[in-house]
Copies of this chain bind each other. A is one copy, B any other.
Amino acid sequence: MPELYHHPLSAGSRFVRLVLAEYGETVDLTEIVPWERDEGLLVLNPAGTVPVLVDETDGPVVGAAVIGEYLSETRGARIGENSLMPSEPAERAEVRRLVSWFLDKLNDEVVDYLLTEKVFKRHAPATNGGSAPDAAAIRAARGNIRYHLSYVGYLVARRDCLAGRGLSFADLAAAAALSCADYLGEVPWEEDATAKEWYARIKSRPSFRSILADTVRGNPPVTHYADLDF
């Protein structure tokens, strides 16, 4: 069974867990502590980041988007034509653009701020970055997420799913990133009914169940987090 080094509130890790579940692949999860130096992880990935998937034959595969491509190439055929990655180069490019938009841009502008300020600084010892949250960083995240939510609504209003006709990596990447902010009660769903309806659809998929069962010690999710009718 492959092993996934992850953190429950890492958007990229959640994306990979969703892809694995959609492809029907089970995985051993190894949780890292974000503020600790982990020599085992550094051997697998000199950048020291998650997710890292350790495949039994191919060894470590590093980074959310890279793992997505790898799983598509090695497991995608299992689920037939709707393999989360279209076959035409231009459509593939659009899926990849959006995966990067949500796992890089939304992550940098929203999720990273919220996690750092509301979770990591609270639990890390002072010697490893623990401190009081920075209210300005949280305000920046709250401003930024509104643009991202309205971009999701804009795309869904024009297309059935984020990148086009069918469910793709783009939907999983966006839902993974938004779900991290939602865990902390930081998605203003009332501002965009179209985006909310799309998220309710993705959230209801069986692949999402383990994400909705996540808990971080000392930071329980907000009450509506696992509610499919939020």
- Taking beta carbons and an 8 Å cutoff, which residues of A are in contact with B? 46-47, 55, 58-59, 61-63, 65-67, 69-70, 73-74, 89-90, 92-93, 96-97, 100-101, 104-105, 151
Contacts and interface: CB of A to CB of B under 8 A. Distances in A.
| From A67, A74, A90, residue with most partner B Cβ within 10 Å | A90
Question: How many copies of this chain sit in the oligomeric assembly?
Answer: 2
A66 B98 CA distance: 10
Contacts of A46: 151
A61 B47 contact: no
Q: Which 5 A-B pairs have the closest CB atoms?
A: A58-B90, A73-B89, A66-B96, A62-B97, A61-B93
A4 to B, nearest CB: 14
B105 A93 contact: no
Given A58-B89, A58-B90, A70-B90, 7 more contacts: A46-B151, A58-B93, A63-B96, A67-B93, A69-B92, A69-B96, A73-B89
A73 B97 contact: no
